[in-house]
Amino acid sequence: MSYSENLTSELKREYTPEINKTVIALANTSGGTIYVGVADDGTVTGIADANETMLKLSNSIRDSIKPDVTMFVDYQQEVIGKKIIIKVVVQKGTSCPYYLTGKGIRPEGVYVRQGASTVPATETAILRMIKDTDGEKYEDVRSLNQVLSFNEAKKEFKIQNIPFGTGQQKSLGLMNVDSIYTNLGLLLSDQCVHTVKLAVFEGTEKAAFKDRREFTGSLLKQLKDVYEFIDRHNRNRSEIEGLRRSDRRDYPTDAVREALLNALVHRDYSFSDSTLISIFDDRMEFVSIGGLARGITFNDMMLGVSVARNRNLANVFYRLTLVEAYGTGMPKILRSYEKIAIKPLIEATDNAFKITLPNINEIAEKALLNKNERAVMDLFVGRDSIVRKVVEADLSVSQPMAVRILKGLVEKGEIRAVGGGKNTRYVLTK
C-alpha cells in the first residue's frame, strides 16, 4: 500500500503534540486519517512501542482539544511488513469549531484542512462554524473569549443568596454542556465587549456636551453604573401648594428603570454598536440596536405582550429580581405618565428601538403662561384669529417682542400659525 498526503490524509513519522492540530483540522473539515509511523515520502518507518504511543495519543487528544472530540476519534494498529503503524481515524465532529484548549476559539487555536495542509482557520470561518453548529440565537452561541471572570455577577448572585457554581452557570445558559462559555456568559462577565454610551447635552439639540461617559464591564455592572449616573442628572424640583411642598423628579424613576432595562435586556447583541442614552433639557432618549423581536408587532408590545430576544438573559435578570414578569415594562412606563400631558414616545424600526421620556418638570414650566402670554390669550376673546400687529398695539411692545411672545405660545401648544409672511395669523389650538 502506498501512502500520500491529501485533504483527508496526513503522514507522521512519530508521535508529536502537533498531531493535535491535525486532529482538530480533520474534525473541523471533512474527517480523515493520520498515519503515525509513516514518513512524509510514504516510507513506512514503524513505531517502536505502539501501545505506549497510542496511550500518549489518546491522552493528549482528550486533554488538549475542546469540545470533547474523543467520540469522533478511533485508534487502530496495522502491521505493514514487520513494522507497526497507528491509524488515527477522525470523523467530522458535530460541535465545530474544535480548538486547542490553551489557545481558545481563535485562529491560533482553530485549524482546518486546506489541500494536504493543516492551517489556522480565519475568523470568518470560525464564526461560520459556530453559527452552523450553535444556530442563530446569539446568547446560546459559544463565546470567542473563553477566559472570563465574573466578579460583578458573583456579587449580585450573592446578594440574592443564589449559588453561582458551574452547575448553576450551565442551567442558566452561561455555559453549554461541554463547560464552554456561551455569549450569555460573555455578556455577564467582566470582559463583556458591549458598552453603553451616555451623553448629557446643553439645550434640546445635540450641539454642546455637558457630560458624557462610556460604561463597560458586565451588563450587571453597566446597569447599576448607568442608573446611578442618570439618577444624578434626574433633578428633584419642588413646588409649593398652599402650606405644603411637593417634590417631583424630572423623570419618573419607574420609567427610567424600565427604559434602561429594556435597552440592556432586549437589544440585539449580534451587533457590536453601543446602546445610546441621551439626556436633553426637555427629554431623555434610549436607543438600542435591534427592532422588535420576531413574532411580535408594535401594538402587541404596547399591550404588554413580550417575546424575549434574549430569553436566558431576561431569565437571569428575573432571577436577580431586576425585572418583574415579562411584558410589564412598556405599560409601566406609560402608567408613570398617566397624569402628564405629553406622553413617552416609543419608536421601532427594523434595526433599532427608541424610547423617549419627556421631562415632566420642563413640561410643567412650559405650560405656565407669563403675564404677556396671558394678555395675548385675552385678545382672542371675540376673535377667531389675531395678527402680530394687534399684539404690538394692544400690549405696547416692539415687533421682536411680539414675535417672541407668539412663538412662546406656539411652542406651548396654545396657538398655531396659519399662512406665512405678512399674511401670518394665529388661531387657538384648543
| Mean pLDDT to the nearest integer, 28-53 | 93
pLDDT of amino acid 278: 97
* Per-residue model confidence (pLDDT) at position 239: 62
**What pLDDT does 221 receive?**
97
Query: CB neighbours of 360 closer than 8 A, spacing ≥ 6?
Result: 248, 249, 250, 251, 252, 337, 340
Would you give the DSSP letter of residue 45? -
Average of pLDDT values for 80-94? 93
| Spatial distance between the Cα atoms of 9 and 116, rounded to a whole number of angstroms | 7
Is residue 302 predicted with pLDDT exceeding 70? no
Band of residue 1 on the pLDDT scale cut at 50, 70, 90: low
* Cβ–Cβ < 8 Å for 177, 170: yes
- Determine the number of helices (DSSP H) and then strands (DSSP E) in the chain: 15, 18
pLDDT at 164: 95
pLDDT at 236: 85
pLDDT band for 325, please (50, 70, 90 cuts): low
**Per mean pLDDT, which of 181-195, 230-244, 310-324, 373-387 is the most reliable?**
181-195
- 95 and 28 Cβ atoms separated by less than 8 Å: no
At 248, is the pLDDT very low, low, confident or very high (cuts 50, 70, 90)? confident
Of 177, 176, 151, whose CA–CA distance to 164 is shortest?
A: 151
pLDDT at 329 over 80: no
Band (pLDDT 50/70/90 cuts) for residue 291 is confident
pLDDT value, residue 134:
80
pLDDT beyond 70 at 367: no
Same fold, 196-364 and 369-428: no
Residues 6+ apart with CB under 8 A from 282: 204, 358, 359, 362, 363
Residues 75 and 54: their CA atoms lie apart, in Å, by 7
Assign 183 a pLDDT band (cuts: 50, 70, 90): very high
Instruction: State the pLDDT at residue 63.
Output: 94
Grid cell digits, residue 365: 414650566
Q: Are 81 and 2 in contact (CB under 8 A)?
A: no
pLDDT of 430 above 90: no
Q: What is the pLDDT of residue 133?
A: 85
Fold of 9-134: 3.30.950
Q: State phi, psi for 364 to the nearest 5 degrees.
A: -65, -40
Alpha carbons within 13 A on the beta-carbon side of 403: 6
Res 172 pLDDT > 80: yes
Q: Read out DSSP for 147-159?
A: ----HHHHHHHHH
> How many percent of the chain have pLDDT more than 90?
64
Mean pLDDT, residues 31-51? 93
Region 296-314: mean pLDDT is 75
Question: Is the separation of the CB atoms in 384 and 288 below 8 Å?
Answer: no
Cell numbers for 263 = 435597552
pLDDT digit string (tens) for 92-146? 998 899 999 989 899 999 999 999 999 999 999 998 898 888 877 899 999 989 9
d(C-alpha 187, C-alpha 148), whole Å? 10
pLDDT at residue number 242? 56
pLDDT band at 159 (very low <50, low <70, confident <90, very high): very high
Q: Between helices 253-265 and 311-319, what is the axis angle to 10°? A: 140
pLDDT, position 246? 67
Give the confidence band of 11 by pLDDT, cuts at 50, 70, 90.
very high
Domain boundaries, the chain: 9-134, 196-364, 369-428
Highest mean pLDDT of the ranges 249-263, 301-315, 330-344? 249-263
Dihedral sign (CA 111, 124, 295, 335): positive
CATH for 369-428, options being 1.10.10.10, 1.10.8.60, 2.40.110.10, 3.40.50.300: 1.10.10.10
Which CATH fold topology does 196-364 show?
Heat Shock Protein 90 (3.30.565)
| Cell numbers that stand for 92 in this block | 467530522
CA distance 212 to 196: 11
Task: Return mean pLDDT, the chain.
Answer: 89
d(CA 359, CA 342): 9
pTM: predicted TM-score of the whole model, two decimal places: 0.70
Q: Please tell me which residue, 373 or 87, carries the higher pLDDT value.
A: 87
- Whether the pLDDT of residue 28 is over 60: the answer is yes
User: What is the share, in percent, of the chain residues with pLDDT greater than 70?
Assistant: 93
Query: Residue 152 pLDDT > 90, yes or no?
Result: yes
- Collapsing DSSP states into helix, strand and coil, what is residue 400? helix
User: What is the rounded average pLDDT of the residues 79-86?
Assistant: 92
Would you state the pLDDT for residue 2? 77
Cα Rg, the chain, nearest whole Å = 33
Nearest Cα neighbor of 260 from 180, 347, 207, 333 is: 333
- Average of per-residue pLDDT across 253-276: 92
Q: Please determine, for residue 287, whether its predicted confidence score (pLDDT) is greater than 80.
A: yes
Band of pLDDT at residue 394, cut at 50, 70 and 90 = very high
